[in-house]
Amino acid sequence: MNLQIKDILKSMDYGPAPEASDEVGKWLSAAPKNGFGHFIGGKFTTAKKDGTFAVTNPASDEELARVALGTDSDVDAAVKAATNAFPAWSGLDGHERARYLYALARHIQKHSRFLSVLETMDNGKTIRETRDIDVPLVARHFYHHAGWAELLDTDFEGYKPVGVCGQIIPWNFPLLMLAWKIAPALAAGNTVVLKPAEQTPLTAIAFAEICHEIGLPEGVVNIVQGDGSTGSALCKHKGIAKIAFTGSTDVGRIIREQTAGSGKKISLELGGKSPFIVFPDADLDAAVEGVVDAIWFNQGEVCCAGSRVLVQEGVAELFFDKLRARMKTLRVGDPLDKTMDIGAVVSHEQRERIGALVETGKSEGATLWQYEGSVPSNGSFCRPGFFTGSEPASTVSQEEIFGPIAVTMTFRTPAEAVEIANNTRYGLAASIWTENINLAVDVAARTKAGIVWINETNIFDAAAGFGGYRESGFGREGGREGLYEYLKPEWEGVGKARADEPFAASGHTDAGHQIAETDGIDRTPKLYVGGKQARPDSGYSYAVRGKNDAIIGHAGLGNRKDIRNAVEAASKASGWGASTGHNRAQVLYYLGENLSARKVEFAGLLSSSTGASAKAAAEETDRALRRIFWYAAYADKYDGAVHATQSQHVTIAMNEPWGVMGIVCPDEMPLLSLVSLTLPALAMGNRVVVVPSQRHPLLATNLYQVIDTSDVPGGVFNIVTGERDALAGTLAKHDGVDALWYCGSTEGSLMVERASTGNLKAVWADGGVTRDWRDKRSGQGREYLRRATQVKNIWLPYGE
């Protein structure tokens, strides 16, 4: 019998190819008697015998080490060390900081084999992944951000480091998540206190040794191990200026609530339920390999895993047949064996959670197809698989399984594919498979996700931002957009505390006061919703007082139902964001022209409303006009970028509008502040629901007459007058509001940040600190445009 090579390859079995763990074993054996301590102020602390926890190998259940459990006092000591180190570190020349980052990158490469083995033993992922993906990317992040440290003064002029950064990382990519957070923080001039996941702290400890090895100044990097209580102490600490968190959406909500009103900058990279969309013209064999990388990579413990596989129904059965055949060839076993495709999930608790969701999927009627090969009896191994027959509303279609189990659904048309893809509260990533580039780009634009891969999946690089939409969090990590998370404008938070006197709008006019004399017929301003004047749902108006406390008019007393109606109107006006920047610019120019024709009237109203002199009122009106034209000019000029990623891709960073934005305006300079806040949002394609100055709302109600004559589509600009914080709280809680800007009191800032925890919308609150709205840096600028957009990175294969 003459066997051909192709037949032999099919019948051959793999021999073992273990990676040696001797060096890691020696390192673990040499650990201090009571276990590893924390790394604080450039030194390791001494662990207390009764204050440690065990770290186990998930592939064998073997105890690897004991590690100190961080207490409030440990966190406090680490924050103090970082605080003491901050002035000198942030004061270094960018080149000096870059040299340390370069040294970290080089020493990570020198220790790459050790780190790969340690990560595999600590986490359970395969050595192929740690060796070929994770550790090289770790070094890449430090190299990339060393470059940003060099360029900070020129490319981020007008920005400064935020201070001491608290960073909390998950267990699925322990060392890589550390690099994602520490590298940009150090490049920007910050110092850090990092808490690794309690399941996987060992590579963070090894990294601390590297920091000591290269002579990183004491206190610049501090690492405190611990559980959720340690992370909570870090989030609550008053010495922390910024919290960066990667983990579950539920914990993200807790952190949002813990930090509300504290003035801490916050970025959250949370869960996902990412669609993997296969069109009928796709290379199906390549797409099957894409599923392997999307959901079976890293045991499916990936926040951006392509866990919802959507296949066009014409090719669905063929595709599922191919997927079942490919699943049979997977190898599940010892992650230190270089022939294995899938290792162990991080813990028995995680395996049980995955199993419970699998049982739920089966009980709801879906069919489970699962790997039938051998799986080790020891350790926390989980058989990979996928469901067919699942529905979009099924539990397993909506909940993040965070394991090697995918759900599948079918669709008929591209529009239906997009509808199913967006039928989730998450919005982290998506993968699109088609040979039609027009279709790919069109679907990418319509998919609500922060990262979109075309004909590939799970590609990462330090030069491209990573982060999601909706309940997948806000903020970006990596690239230029990621560095902004560790910087703040020099003007932000340096103004005076707002003298915010109590305000309670009465729905019944005080009979002892008479409305000031007016020229002409009495007019009752209304709300402005959906391009039309609308009476407030309450049926009440409140007296508006001006100069010398005289009543100069009345404004509608809006309530939560008026906010609801305004948000609905704004949601329907989605064509504004889909229009070109040029078209939006023309409308905004027209708005400026029409306001200019009535500037004498507005200046007079400003004077009578606020008591400002005629000269000051005229100057504010002129500044408002100039600001309208400035943002109109930027409507088609705030460009995205093509990131220079390490691999052959065109990685396009698109600035996309949030969608519906709530904007809550202060009382000071009521016309200029309103224009300064609404125009950047409109220029970027957002629709706005505006709560104008509660004391001086007539500027806004007169403005809607200008809007009516300026071709602004109905629903793009909505105005609801009334009590600021009552309306702001409703906006913060509303699921239809995608982002919120708040300028008001300290208490109000806390309130809106706390109220936004349910839907995790991005909130930009001023903490009760005034801005100089006349200033071109604090009152206008690219920071406003950046805050009015979210970045979507689209990865297109390019070149050979």
CA-based nearest residue to 165, from 147, 146, 189:
189
Residues that are catalytic: 269, 303
| Neighbouring-strand partners of residue 543 | 554
Is there a contact between 702 and 609 (Cβ–Cβ < 8 Å)?
A: no
Helix (H, G, I), strand (E, B) or coil at 533: strand
Residue 465 contacts by C-beta under 8 Å, 6 or more apart in sequence? 450, 476, 477, 478, 479, 480, 481, 482, 643, 653, 791, 793
How far from the centroid of its chain's Cα atoms is residue 749's Cα?
Answer: 20
Residue 428 contacts by C-beta under 8 Å, 6 or more apart in sequence? 270, 271, 272, 274, 303, 304, 449, 450, 451, 467, 468, 469, 472, 473
How far apart, in Å, are the Cα atoms of 781 and each of 16, 640, 775, 778?
Answer: 60, 16, 10, 7
| Neighbouring-strand partners of residue 168 | 195, 245
CA angle 746, 529, 538 (to 5 degrees): 70
Helix (H, G, I), strand (E, B) or coil at 254: helix
Q: Where are the alpha helices (DSSP H) in 573-613?
A: 575-578, 581-596, 599-610
- Axis-axis angle for helices 135-155, 174-187 (nearest 10): 20
DSSP for 385-419? Answer: EEEES--TTSHHHHS---SSEEEEEEESSHHHHHH
**In 579-701, which ranges are E strands?**
641-643, 649-657, 660-664, 687-691
Is there a contact between 468 and 450 (Cβ–Cβ < 8 Å)?
A: yes
- Angstrom distance (rounded) from CA 190 to CA 367: 50
Q: Would you tell me how many other CB atoms lie within 10 Å of the CB of residue 13?
A: 5
Name the token pair of 167. Answer: 């960073």
Q: How many helices (H) and strands (E) does the chain have?
A: 28, 31
Reported as half-sphere exposure (CB side, CA atoms, 13 A), residue 660 has a value of 22
Name the token pair of 2. Answer: 């003459």
Q: What are phi and psi of 555, to 5 degrees?
A: -135, 150
- Angstrom distance (rounded) from CA 251 to CA 257: 10
> Environment class of residue 223 by beta-carbon count within 10 Å: exposed (0-12), middle (13-18) or buried (19+)?
buried
Secondary structure element (H or E) that encloses residue 178, with its range: helix 174-187
Secondary structure element (H or E) that encloses residue 754, with its range: helix 746-755
- Axis-axis angle for helices 437-446, 414-421 (nearest 10): 30
How far from the centroid of its chain's Cα atoms is residue 405's Cα?
Answer: 25
